[in-house]
Amino acid sequence: MSVEFPWSPAGGAGVGVAFEDPGLAGSDHHFLRFDFYPLLSPSHPGRHLAYFDLPLRRVDGPNLRATLTKGALVVSDATGSHVVDPVWRGALPLAGYCRLTVSLWSTEGEVPIQIEAAISAPMTLPSDANTPLERILVAVTQRCNLTCPMCTRQRGSDLDEADISDDVLAALLDAAPHAVFVGLQGLGEPLLHRDLSGMVRAFRARLPSVGRIGLTTNGTPLTRDRSAQLIAEGLNTITVSMDGATKATYEARRTGADFDRVVRNIAAAASCALGSGRDDVWLGANYVMDPDNLAEVPAFVRLAASLGLCAVSFFHGRLYPDMRLVPLDAETLARGRAAALQIGRETGVTVRFASSRPTMPPQCPFMNSAYLWLTGEVVPCDRMEPPGRPWPTRIFGNVREQPLLEIWNQPEYQTFRHGVLSGNLPGECRDCTFCDSVVC
C-alpha cells in the first residue's frame, strides 16, 4: 500500500491510497482505517480526534482518494464515491493541525490485525470551526550574550535590553490552562531571564496534564545546575541552537560562544534528563545551514548522538531583509541529507530537514500559536518580530488590555487564521517564504 498525503485532506486531490495487491479491492476480510490525531501531544487519550473505517468490500479498483468533508470521509474509487462516517469522534474539533495514519487491517482471524500503516507529515484541517489555541510562544527576554551574524537581532538597533514584564507574564499564566505547549524563546537568550526557573514552575502549575514546556537556548548559560533545576521544575524540552560540528565552524557563527563549553553543557543536560526519572524530557538541536557549514551536517548528527540528543532539525539560513533562503549547493545538500538520515537511523537520533524549495500552497505551521512580544502584543507568528523589522506585522491585541483567549477568539483573528490555512492568504502573508525553511 502506498499513501500520498496532501497538505490538507479537506480539499483538493485528497489523500491518495494505492494497493499493490489489486485483489484487496472488494475484499470481505480487509478494511482501511483513517486515524486523525492532533499535532501536539497526540498520544494522550483525550487528544484523539477521530477515526474512520472503510470496508474494502465497498471499494472498486486499487486506487482511492479520500477527502474530509463536513466531519465525514468521502472516498472515491473507479466507479463512484462512498461517504464514511466516523467510528469514533472525540471532543476536540476537526480543525487546525493534525497527523493522519492510514492503516490496512485484516479481519480473517479472531481479532483484526494491522498489516501496514503510513503516517503523514503535519497536515491542516481548515474548517468553519475555530482553530484551537495550542501553543503560546513567549518572548522571555530581548537580552542576549552572543552576536550571531545570522540572527535578526543584528538587523536593527530598536530592541530594548529587557525581560518580559510581570503583568504580561501574569496574563499568559491565566491563558495557560487552555494551551498544550508553552515555548520560552524570543530574540534573546531565555536563560538570561532573572527567574526562568520560577516561570517554568508557574506554567507547570497552570498547564493541563498534557501540556509541555519548551526552551530554545544557545547553550552557553546551560550549566549542569541550571539544567537540573529547570527539569525539576517541569521543563520538557531543551533545544540548543548549534551550527557546526567543529569548533572553528561553530564559533564563526555563534560569535562569543565557546564550542567546548557548549558541548559540555549539552552532555550535562542530557545526563540530568536521564537521571531525572522522567520519560517526558526531550533534548534536541537546531542547525542553520549555510554554504560553509553544509559539509558538516552528517558529522553534527554523530556529535548529537554522542551527546545524548534525541533529535536534530536542519534549517536553511536566510538573506535579509527579504528573507530569501540562502542558496545551497543542491548536490552537497542531497548528499549530506542522505548521510545524516542514515546516521540518524543508526544512532536513534531523529533527523529532520526543512524544505529546500517553496511549497504550494504555502504550508504555514503557526496558526495554532499565539506569539507574544515582551510588551504584551499578540501576533500570529514569530516572523512578526518586534517593530522596526522590514516585513509586515499584524497585531491582534495586547494581553495587558484583554485576555489572550478573548483575543484569540475575536472574529478578525479567526478570519486571519482561516485564510492562511485555506490558502486565501491575508495581505501580511502573501509574500512570506518563512514557512519554506521551517521544520514542524
Share of the chain above pLDDT 90, in %: 69
In tens, the pLDDT along 231-287 reads: 999 999 999 999 999 999 999 999 999 999 999 999 999 999 999 999 999 999 999
All 3 cell numbers of residue 96? Answer: 487546525
In tens, the pLDDT along 274-313 reads: 999 999 999 999 999 999 999 999 999 999 999 999 999 9
What is the sign, positive or negative, of the torsion defined by CA atoms of 391, 396, 401, 405? negative
* The pLDDT value given to residue 314: 95
Residues 6+ apart with CB under 8 A from 310: 282, 283, 284, 349, 350
In tens, the pLDDT along 135-167 reads: 999 989 989 999 988 887 766 556 678 899 999
Q: What is the mean pLDDT of residues 362-382?
A: 89
DSSP code string of 87-107: SEE-SS-S-EEEEEEEEEEE-
Residue 401 burial (CB count, 10 A): 10
